[in-house]
């Protein structure tokens, strides 16, 4: 489903309203993938289908603002993350783009001081990736070879530990935001 499918999935409007309220109140908000798109939409950005898909392991690059953001400080300027999306979002007025990839310019939006919308996945485990591939195998195989499930599974052991260590850092810092 896409964030832009509010008529088909009416609960999306309620999710957006809740996120808007949390942002307005200055509460910490974190959204990942669909959740990141919801954060962007709640802040006034357009969310729409991208020109392709990112499913698997991809490089992202932190922007200058990303390099200096308290949630990301100390992470490398470029690193490999796990992606599973075909939609993207614009950066809303007043928002900051903290990361980009070769195919999708907006990978991480920050709204105010405490709201973040991640397009990529820092929370995944190897087991989750295997499960997602199993559940979506027919769809992945129908993509004319653009997405290779075996390649994704083969690359996972090479990247998952580092990704999880970055996730630990980011999510710990986000929890610190919640305590403020």
* Contact between residue 51 and residue 93 where contact means Cβ atoms under 8 Å apart: no
In a domain, 6, yes or no: no
pLDDT tens, residue by residue, 77-124: 999 999 999 999 999 999 999 999 999 999 999 999 999 999 999 999
Pick the closest to residue 107 from 69, 161, 143 (CA basis). 69
Give the start-end residues of each E strand in the chain.
Answer: 29-32, 47-62, 78-89, 96-101, 108-111, 115-118
Considering the chain, what percentage of its residues have pLDDT values greater than 90?
Answer: 88
* Contact between residue 164 and residue 129 where contact means Cβ atoms under 8 Å apart: no
Q: Of the listed 6, 65, 123, 126, which one is catalytic?
A: 123
Is 33 among the catalytic positions? Answer: yes
pLDDT of 114 reads 96
The residue segments making up the domain with residue 123 are: 11-179
Pick the closest to residue 73 from 174, 180, 143 (CA basis). 174
* Contact between residue 32 and residue 123 where contact means Cβ atoms under 8 Å apart: yes
Q: Of the listed 15, 54, 85, 121, which one is catalytic?
A: 121
In a domain, 2, yes or no: no
Q: How far apart are CA 165 and CA 115, in angstroms?
A: 21
Report the domain count for the chain. Answer: 1
Q: Of the listed 15, 33, 54, 85, which one is catalytic?
A: 33
Rounded to whole angstroms, the maximal C-alpha distance in the chain is: 49
pLDDT tens, residue by residue, 118-128: 999 999 999 99
Is 137 among the catalytic positions? Answer: no
- Average pLDDT over every residue of 34-53: 95
CATH code of the domain covering residue 86: 3.40.50.880
Is 159 among the catalytic positions? Answer: no
In a domain, 1, yes or no: no
């Amino acid at each position: 489903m896409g964030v832009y499918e509010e008529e088909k999935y009416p609960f999306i409007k309620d999710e957006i309203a809740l996120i808007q309220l949390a942002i307005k109140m200055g509460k910490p908000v974190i959204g990942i993938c669909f959740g990141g798109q919801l954060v962007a939409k709640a802040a006034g950005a357009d969310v729409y289908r991208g020109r392709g898909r990112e499913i698997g392991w991809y490089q992202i690059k932190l922007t200058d603002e990303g390099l200096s953001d308290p949630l990301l400080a100390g992470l490398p300027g470029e690193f490999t993350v796990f992606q599973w999306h075909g939609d993207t979002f614009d950066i809303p007025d007043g928002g900051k783009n903290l990361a980009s990839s070769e195919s999708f310019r907006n990978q991480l939006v920050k709204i105010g001081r405490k709201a973040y919308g991640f397009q990529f996945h820092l929370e995944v485990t190897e087991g989750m990736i295997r499960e997602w591939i199993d559940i979506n195998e027919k769809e992945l195989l129908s993509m004319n070879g653009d997405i290779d499930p075996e390649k994704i599974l083969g690359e996972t052991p090479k990247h998952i530990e580092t990704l999880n260590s970055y996730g630990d850092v980011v999510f710990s810092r986000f929890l610190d935001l919640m305590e403020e």
